[in-house]
Amino acid sequence: MAVVAIAGVLVANASGWPAGAVADTDSHSGRATFYSLGDSGLGNCSFPEVPADRFYAALGPEDYDHAGGCGGYLEVTGPLGTVRVLAADKCPECESGHLDMSPEAFAMIGPLADGVIPITYRGVRDPDGVGPVRVRVKEGSSAWWIGFLIMDHGNPLASVEYLADADADEWRGLARAEYNYWLQEDGAGPGPFTLRLTDIYGHQAVVEGIELSPMVDQVTNVRMYETDASSPTGSASSASSASSASSPAPTASVPGPAESGACAATAAVNTMWPTGFQATVTVRNTAAAAAGSWVVTWIVPADVTIGTAWNATVGQSGTAVTASAPVWSPTLAVGETVSIGFNADRPIGPGTVEAAVAGSITLNGESCVGF
């Protein structure tokens, strides 16, 4: 179904439902259990891998909403803390409000030994640290039948369309399957394809250059809710495994006004639990030239130990942390921004880690100013 995007307006998805619990930003009460998808992913949402932080959940049929909730995020609070999870699977036996979470996510909010815990949860609108969009063409696709899997879009999607006739600006809607692929049953030609994505909040983006290459991740330079004054249109490149479903490659936002110095940076704690936290270090290249083979460093308090990280190769020596550019994004162009996420262990008080980290960030050896 074709959708006219209106910023800030809730848009019905292709099934006519508002993406279940993932679309509701009000707080609700429920319960949580846990299960595991292993390392391969491939729950009902068809995501080919689990998120790098391994924080995901399966939703009951009402909340799963015929795949309408796939790729969105929930903030879940339990007895021990709060965690953000990716909607990645369907739990057929779960009632509305029952979230079947990964063991890693469950352990952040309650003791695994309890098995079932009370929770509150809400949908997360415009979650940070998500994107750029990835596209995968379904196996068996051809010029006469095709399916597209859209990943790393942040908010639940309302519609996906393909450009059938560029001269006439004719867009045709794709039908969403229960397994989260968007299908054109009578085909869309040999490609390359241009897709228009609309999420339930009216954010819209156009993705160009999608090849008829089944089961290959095609990584774009598009994010669904870019805030800078720029076109969200972008192109795609192929990669066998460029990023996880919730932890994107560090393709950057569009340049904004340049700060003084070589870089600008900030740090924020996203989620806390009794024995640790999840944080993001964001760096913008404000120099006059691109930063090739970029390296970001920062200092953490002595009792902080970095665990898993994403969007960079991260190492720690004592209190010094080094984040090196990944192979798929080795250069940070002028005005571009990278957000490096990580989990760490240590009970903290609000603001203490942000302040310690934010004052010590460097890009390729140059100290960064705040922004």
Same domain, 188 and 232: yes
Domain with 114, as residue range(s), is 20-123
Asked, for residue 254, whether it belongs to a domain, the answer is no
Among residues 123, 155, 188, the one where a domain terminates is: 123
Strand partners, 291: 332
Q: Evaluate if residue 281 carries a pLDDT over 50.
A: yes
How far is residue 282's CA from residue 293's CA, in Å, rounded to a whole number?
A: 17
Which residue type sits at 128?
A: D
Q: How far apart are the first and last CA of the chain?
A: 41
pLDDT > 90 fraction of the chain, expressed in percent and rounded: 46
Would residue 311 be called left, alpha or beta, if left means φ above 0 and alpha means ψ between -120 and 50 degrees? left
Q: What is the pLDDT of residues 302-328, one digit of tens each?
A: 778 888 888 888 998 888 899 998 877
Q: Which amino acid is at 87?
A: A
- The per-residue pLDDT for 358 is 60
Contact between 13 and 212 under an 8 Å Cβ cutoff? The reply is no
Mean pLDDT within 85-93: 94
For the sheet with 204-210, list strands across it.
170-173, 157-165, 193-199, 204-210
Burial of 171 (0-12, 13-18, 19+ CB in 10 A): middle
Distance CA(297)–CA(367), nearest Å, equals 9
Can you give the pLDDT at residue 121? 95
Peptide bond into 350 cis (omega under 30): no
Question: CB of 13 within 8 A of CB of 59?
Answer: no
Mean pLDDT, to the nearest integer, of 59-69?
92
Q: Does residue 249 form part of some domain?
A: no
pLDDT above 50: residue 7: no
Answering whether pTM is above 0.85, one says no
**Of 60, 92, 123, which marks where a domain is finished?**
123
Distance CA 246, CA 256 (A): 25
Q: What are phi and psi of 310, to 5 degrees?
A: -145, 160
Average pLDDT, the chain: 81
The residues, any chain, with a CB within 8 Å of residue 357's CB and separated by 6 or more, are 267, 279, 281, 298, 299, 300
* pLDDT for residue 334: 87
Cα 111–chain centre separation = 27
The whole-number pLDDT of residue 272 equals 73
Q: How many residues in the chain?
A: 371
pLDDT band at 238 (very low <50, low <70, confident <90, very high): very low
pLDDT in tens, 193-226: 999 999 999 999 999 999 999 999 999 989 998 6
- Whether residue 251 is predicted with pLDDT greater than 80 in this model: the reply is no
The predicted pLDDT at position 157 comes to: 94
Q: Which of 78, 97, 123 is the last residue of a domain?
A: 123
In a domain, 252, yes or no: no
Count the domains in the chain.
3
SS3 75: strand
Task: Count CB atoms within 10 A of the CB of residue 258.
Answer: 14
- Say whether pLDDT at 241 is over 90: no
Q: Quick one: pLDDT band at residue 352, thresholds 50, 70, 90?
A: low
- Evaluate whether residue 91 is within a structural domain: yes
